[in-house]
């Protein structure tokens, strides 16, 4: 008699970075137990005519983040429910750093904040106010399950910027332990030199944001960080690459011997700086700023030809009230919502337009972030023994993005009105159906912290 599994996802086209194949996926408990044909389960999900992807990993989110006198509007409850509705089964968020606390202390506080999560989560350690002599913070945080640490080359006024000499010392320590450095790359001095020369009229125009944080400031910072990465041998990840100049700097750094990986975000793939000219252009405030159509095309090319390693959202949502325009683009909280629309947008704007192949989806949204941050093959793979994180996706569905039909705690979407090809039918995380055909079927707090040991 054929073995019966707990659950079988039957007859879908299983899509991995290497192949697409109509087959069954069997699950026992929380893990994938078998992949093959004519498998039998105590419960079965009919996936015929659908694509089956590995669960999406959004490796850059900001839930319940204190920023600019407010807090991002999704907490770990609402934000991860929205994530599950969009096929995301794992997020990597950030500790909230300060010069008065240590990274291990920051992790302890953040773990408490994350308890309502319905999907699994990991953290990058945010490096704020760090100085040489405190290398023990990295060592102790690594022992607690962090293996990646975020630095800033900008935001000096808020104390987030790490000077190059201190960054080099920190990277040297991280290289010793095999950890990854993440860097927000915008050159502070270039931004300051532009802003200092702005007239009151220019400050009162939202479109000035794109001029105040130009693509050159991204390139300059990446060049400097790549030099430090090369000198120390530290594996270094560049977050939210937004421009052709930034992408070229990543390529040049790799060619010179730096161990660089890089991501981009849906906003830089689908939107341009013209959004700032809209009557509600202030709602699109983000850092880096939105760029041009040429930049957008270059980023898609970078995804297809492996100049970029994956797509993440930098999900940092705010409501219209939180983004009330006060006549100064500098006084807005920066960030856009996106965790729920990541997979549909990249599929529709990528595969649907021929910019990407369908096998690029698991490479860019699952395996890429999992490999970069030490989660593979537990996460990011459809393999026997991997966590049973799966997305059943209907490529024939057509729908329009409307904020009031999404689950993120926002009252606007930067992608409002975009026609999307493809929709998530069901999301499974560690063998449990979290979302199915428009219904949320999970409870708060079922997500677990994923310690990443080196």
Same domain, 43 and 111: no
DSSP for 65-81, written as a single string: -EETTEE-S--HHHHHH
For the chain, the domain total comes to 2
Q: At what angle do helices 136-143 and 164-177 cross, to 10 degrees?
A: 40
Taking a C-beta distance cutoff of 8 angstroms, is the pair 338, 410 a contact? no
Same domain, 323 and 241: yes
More confident residue, 67 or 30: 30
Summarised one tens digit per residue, pLDDT across range 78-130 is: 999 999 999 999 999 999 999 999 999 999 999 999 999 999 999 999 999 99
User: What is the CATH classification number for the domain harbouring 36?
Assistant: 2.30.40.10
* Alpha helical stretches, state H, 98-187: 103-113, 136-143, 164-177
Is 149 a domain residue?
A: yes
The answer for 113, left when phi > 0, alpha when psi is -120 to 50, beta otherwise, is alpha
Determine the Cα–Cα distance for residues 53 and 51; give it in Å rounded to an integer. 6
Taking a C-beta distance cutoff of 8 angstroms, is the pair 77, 313 a contact? no
Same domain, 184 and 147: yes
Whether the per-residue pLDDT at 391 is higher than 70: the answer is yes
Mean pLDDT of 209-222: 98
Is 425 a domain residue?
A: yes
Same domain, 282 and 231: yes
pLDDT at 422: 98
Instruction: Say which residue the tokens 């930067």 belong to.
Output: 414
CB neighbours of 393 closer than 8 A, spacing ≥ 6? 50, 51, 52, 53, 87, 343, 347, 422, 423, 424, 425
Q: Which residues pair with 94 in a beta bridge?
A: 124
Is 449 a domain residue?
A: no
Determine the Cα–Cα distance for residues 171 and 192; give it in Å rounded to an integer. 26
Instruction: Please report which confidence band the pLDDT of residue 68 belongs to, taking 50, 70 and 90 as the band edges.
Output: confident
Instruction: Say which residue the tokens 């000198």 belong to.
Output: 231
Is 256 a domain residue?
A: yes
Is 144 a domain residue?
A: yes
Mean pLDDT of 300-317: 98
Same domain, 45 and 148: no
Coil vs helix vs strand at 30: coil
Q: What percent of the chain has pLDDT over 90?
A: 97
pLDDT at 1: 54
pLDDT at 3: 86
Same domain, 344 and 436: no
Is 409 a domain residue?
A: no
pLDDT at 4: 94
Determine the Cα–Cα distance for residues 215 and 199; give it in Å rounded to an integer. 21
Same domain, 31 and 76: no
Is 326 a domain residue?
A: yes
Residue 252 lies in domain:
56-372
State phi, psi for 437 to the nearest 5 degrees: 45, 50
Same domain, 184 and 42: no
Summarised one tens digit per residue, pLDDT across range 251-269 is: 999 999 999 999 999 999 9
Mean pLDDT of 367-373: 98
Same domain, 431 and 356: no
User: What is the CATH classification number for the domain harbouring 273?
Assistant: 3.20.20.140
Same domain, 105 and 168: yes
Whether the per-residue pLDDT at 363 is higher than 80: the answer is yes
Same domain, 142 and 23: no
Mean pLDDT of 31-60: 98
Whether the per-residue pLDDT at 454 is higher than 80: the answer is no
Summarised one tens digit per residue, pLDDT across range 404-428 is: 999 999 999 999 999 999 999 999 9
Same domain, 34 and 126: no
Whether the per-residue pLDDT at 131 is higher than 60: the answer is yes
């Amino acid at each position: 008699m054929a073995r019966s599994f707990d659950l079988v996802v039957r007859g879908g086209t299983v899509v991995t970075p290497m192949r697409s194949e109509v087959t069954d996926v069997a699950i026992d408990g929380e893990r994938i137990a078998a992949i093959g044909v004519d498998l039998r389960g105590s419960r079965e999900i009919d996936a015929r005519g659908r694509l089956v992807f590995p669960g999406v990993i959004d490796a850059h989110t900001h839930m319940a983040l204190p920023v600019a006198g407010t807090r991002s509007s999704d907490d770990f409850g609402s934000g991860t429910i929205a994530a599950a509705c969009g096929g995301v089964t794992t997020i990597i968020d950030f500790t909230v750093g300060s010069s008065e606390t240590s990274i291990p202390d920051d992790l302890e506080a953040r773990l408490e904040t994350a308890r309502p999560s319905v999907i699994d989560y990991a953290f990058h350690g945010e490096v704020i106010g760090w100085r040489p002599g405190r290398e023990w913070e990295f060592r102790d945080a690594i022992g607690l399950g962090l293996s990646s640490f975020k630095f800033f080359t900008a935001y000096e006024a808020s104390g987030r910027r790490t000077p190059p000499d201190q960054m080099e010392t920190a990277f040297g320590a991280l290289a010793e332990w095999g950890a990854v450095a993440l860097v927000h790359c915008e050159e502070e001095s270039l931004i300051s030199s532009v802003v200092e020369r702005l007239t009151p009229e220019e400050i009162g125009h939202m479109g000035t944001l794109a001029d105040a944080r130009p693509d050159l400031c991204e390139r300059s910072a990446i060049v400097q960080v790549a030099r430090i990465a090369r000198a120390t041998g530290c594996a270094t990840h560049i977050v939210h690459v937004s421009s052709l100049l930034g992408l070229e700097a990543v390529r040049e750094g790799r060619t010179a011997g730096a161990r660089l990986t890089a991501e981009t975000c849906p906003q830089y793939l689908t939107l341009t700086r013209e959004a700032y000219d809209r009557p509600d252009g202030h709602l699109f405030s983000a850092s880096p700023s939105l760029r041009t159509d040429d930049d957008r095309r270059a980023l898609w090319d970078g995804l297809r030809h492996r100049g970029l390693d994956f797509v993440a959202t930098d999900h940092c949502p705010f409501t219209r009230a939180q983004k009330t325009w006060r006549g100064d683009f500098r006084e807005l909280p920066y960030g856009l919502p996106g965790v729920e629309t990541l997979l549909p947008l990249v599929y529709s704007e990528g595969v649907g337009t021929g910019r990407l192949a369908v096998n690029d989806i698991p490479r860019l949204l699952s395996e890429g972030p999992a490999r970069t941050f030490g989660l593979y093959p537990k996460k990011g793979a459809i393999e026997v023994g991997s966590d049973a994180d799966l997305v059943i996706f209907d490529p024939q569905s057509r729908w329009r993005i409307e904020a009031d039909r999404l689950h993120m705690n926002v009252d606007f979407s930067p992608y409002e009105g975009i026609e999307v090809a493809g929709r998530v039918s069901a999301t499974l995380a560690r063998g449990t159906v979290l979302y199915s055909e428009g219904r949320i079927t999970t409870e708060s707090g079922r997500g677990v912290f994923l310690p990443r040991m080196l």
